[in-house]
Every structure is written in structure tokens, then in C-alpha cells.
Amino acid sequence: MDAIKQAFKGFDVNDLDLSTSGNWPIGVKIISYLIVIALIVAAGWHFYAVDKQAQLHKEVKKEKGLKSVYKEKAFQVSNLDALRKQMEDVEERFAELKKQLPTEKEVPGLLDDITNLGTDSGLDIGSIALASEKKKEFYIELPININVAGSYHQMGQFVSGIAALPRIVTLHDYSISPSAGGVNMRIHAKTYRYDETK
């Protein structure tokens, strides 16, 4: 303690002059060095570490997003076998349905099948005509205009026969009107062909 007092003996802060810093007492020099070192450390911390902290916070926020992506991918990987099996089932079912769609060559045969169903049901066939096809997103729609006459029972048998065809045929927009021998029925049927260009 006496040494510190001796170091500062006769020292007045107002007497400090940077040009005579070499003559300052040893205690003042040590305190000055410590202040300069503290200022350098503080400036380094501010200019170096603050930027790094901002970058760290940015990376921490990014980590949360990456963790959610990782969880999603991990879930997909854990269910990959089930998804592959499901995809195989869907492709198998799609192949079965595709077989039920007539090809371009089979459409005339389908018209013959509908005509035979009508005559087998005892109906008088007015007309069974294929209208112009309509392209949809993945398939081609083939409208068929049907005009037949007969009894209600014969009409029911005819419609049931169409529903039992191995090819997909849907019935739309029918109209039934009375006639001398029973009823006339106009109905729009549609069959579908897979668009091979897709």
C-alpha cells in the first residue's frame, strides 16, 4: 500500500500531459495501459462479436426451419415403403380401369354391343350414333346418342345391360315420352378413351 502511495506521491491529474507520458508515475501508466486495453477489447467485442452474434441468431432461426424440413423428410422416409405399396396399388387399379376403357379400334364393337343389348331387350332401335369426341385433360369423351322405343320393362332391361358391359359406359340426360306401342326414350351415353398423348 505504501508503494502505491509512493507511486502517486505528488501526482495531480491536472498535470497529465500526453507529450510527457513517459515521465508519468508508474501507477498512472499502469492505469492508463489498463484503460487503453479495456477500450481496445470493448471496440473489438463491438465490431467483431456483435456481428457474429447477429449471424448466430440468424443461423439459430434458420435451424428451426431446417428442423421442420428434417422432420417432414424423416416422416416421408419412414413411410416410404407404405407409400410405394400404395403407389403400386394405385397403378394396378389404374391399369384395371384403363382396361375397361375402349380403345379406338374397340369403339365400333362397343356400339354393336349396345345395339345387341337393345334388340335382345326387345326394343325397336331408332338410332345409336357416335357423336364427335371431346378431349378432356387425361381422357377423350365419346358421346353416343341413343333413340329407342319399347315398354318400360324393356327399357329397364336395356339400361341394366349397359351397366353390366365390361367397358365403362355412363348414361346421361334421358327423356321418355309415350308412343303408340309403349314409350320412346332418348338418352345420351358416354364412354371414355384414355388419351395416350398424356
The answer, yes or no, to whether residue 55 has pLDDT greater than 70, is: yes
User: Looking up cell 332418348, which residue turns up?
Assistant: 186
SS3 73: helix
Tell me the domain boundaries of the chain.
1-78, 102-194
101: part of which helix (H) or strand (E)? none
Average pLDDT over residues 183-197: 85
pLDDT in tens, 175-184: 888 887 788 9
Per-chain mean pLDDT for the chain = 82
Radius of gyration of the CA atoms of the chain, in A: 46
**pLDDT at residue 84, rounded to an integer:** 86
* Max CA pair span of the chain: 139
Cα within 13 Å of Cα(197), Cβ side: 5
pLDDT in tens, 138-158: 788 889 999 999 888 898 899
Confidence band (pLDDT; 50, 70, 90) for 186?
Answer: very high
Say which CATH topology domain 102-194 has: Alpha-Beta Plaits (3.30.70)
